[in-house]
Amino acid sequence: MTYVFAQSPDLLRRFLKDKIDDKIKTRRDRFNQKMKGDTKRSYLKLIEREYEGIIKKIVAEKRRLNPSDLADAAVSNDLVKKVVSFQRNRLSAIPEKYKKYSKYAIQKPLRTENPPMLIVPPYFYNANADWHRVNIDLAARTRSIVTDLPVFGMVFCSTEMIETSGDRIIEDFGRLKLDGFLLWVNDFDGRQGFRQLRVVRGFVKALAGLKKPVVSMYGDAFSLVLAYSGLTGYCCGICYAERKAADQDVDVEGGMPVRYYIERLKKKVQVKLEAPRIPLTKYQLGCNCEICNQHGNYSELDDANSREHFMLVRQAEIDSIRAGQSAEDFSNSLKSAYDRYKDEPDLSPLTHLSHWSKLLT
């Protein structure tokens, strides 16, 4: 699911997050410091049939890829060619499991053929200056061979890296004449400390200064705050994958408990655990969406219902931003929710509301 803050989201309408996500998972496991057990069959197929080259070589050698493996221009060009071709040719149909959500699509009917709206250069977790140089080099090579589609550079690093080298990262990417940026801040979410939130907010603002779209690969409700610093849009699963670490196992998302998003508090609670204990109506935190109106108490909601509730509520939040809600109004509403509920033990912690409110003023 990709959310776009702009009034006119045409620019990004065909940008389907799951496509890119598939690729990231694949590459992250292959390149990215973590290799547990056997390589998944789907990845092996990808390596055998699509990537070949250096990727096939390091997998056969059962080792990690190093920046020096990509020092040779021929090797890098080959990787870029393969990754670009994979995106052009293999990711052009909408996955079956997302077809049920097509009723929320901006464009109807949803086309069955869905060529990429943009191309993402091959990239790696920017763990140090060497990997940063590799990423810049691969992005430059991608830019030089892709002339018919937008190329979005991937900025993938930690908050610490942003703090020490954020200006340099933006300067180097800025020289490449890319069409936009994808941002993946390692394992970041909006409940982290004020300092981290401020670092990310500052980085988004500076990156947006390049006057190109900036889309965050993972995001929770803090992305709504970042919209005011120039974030163009963000992606997340429907109720999951709001943050992701470079070394996160790919299959941990299955079997999550049903969670319910409380719009005013910008947080989720586990339905089974909390619903008997926290009567949201008592706190005047009830929801008026179609789903909640049908079911009454949120304890009645199953996984599909709570996800649908989330989508409807998030849509309304995005619509407020698109309609021109001022930073001051948004800040005030976060602050008033914080003041009102901060001392309710059932609802805490709510410090994120206070942090977010401050960042908007």
List residues binding Zn ion (CB under 5 A).
Answer: 287, 289, 292, 309
* Residue number, 248 or 320, with CB nearest to Zn ion: 320
C-beta of 46 vs 347, nearer to Zn ion = 347
Q: β-strand 259-262 against 267-270: which pairing, if any?
A: antiparallel
- Looking at beta carbons only, is 91 or 292 nearer to Zn ion? 292
Q: Residue 155 region, left (φ>0) first, then alpha (ψ -120 to 50), else beta?
A: beta
Q: Which two tokens stand for residue 332?
A: 């005030």
Q: Which two tokens stand for residue 149?
A: 């589609």
Tell the smallest beta-carbon distance from residue 287 to Zn ion (Å): 3
Residues 301 and 280: beta-carbon distance below 8 Å: no
State the minimum distance, in angstroms, from the CB of residue 189 to Zn ion.
22
User: Smallest gap, in angstroms, from Cβ of residue 193 to Zn ion?
Assistant: 30
Nearer to Zn ion (CB atom), residue 114 or residue 320: 320
| Smallest distance, Zn ion to C-beta of residue 296, A | 11
Nearer to Zn ion, 141 or 309 (CB): 309
Which residue's structure tokens are 């940008």?
A: 15
C-alpha 248/C-alpha 141 separation (Å) is: 28
- 29/263 with CB nearer Zn ion: 263
Min. distance of Cβ 318 from Zn ion in angstroms? 15
Specify the residue, 107 or 293, whose C-beta has the smaller distance to Zn ion: 293
Q: How far is the CB of 263 from Zn ion (least distance, A)?
A: 8
How many CA within 13 A on the CB side of residue 129? Answer: 3
Nearest to 320 by CA among 308, 334, 307: 334
* Least distance CB 64 / Zn ion (angstroms): 45
Give the DSSP letter string of 279-344.
-TTTTT----SHHHHHH-SGGG--HHHHHHHHHHHHHHHHHHHHTT--HHHHHHHHHHHHHHHTT-
- What amino acid occupies position 85? S
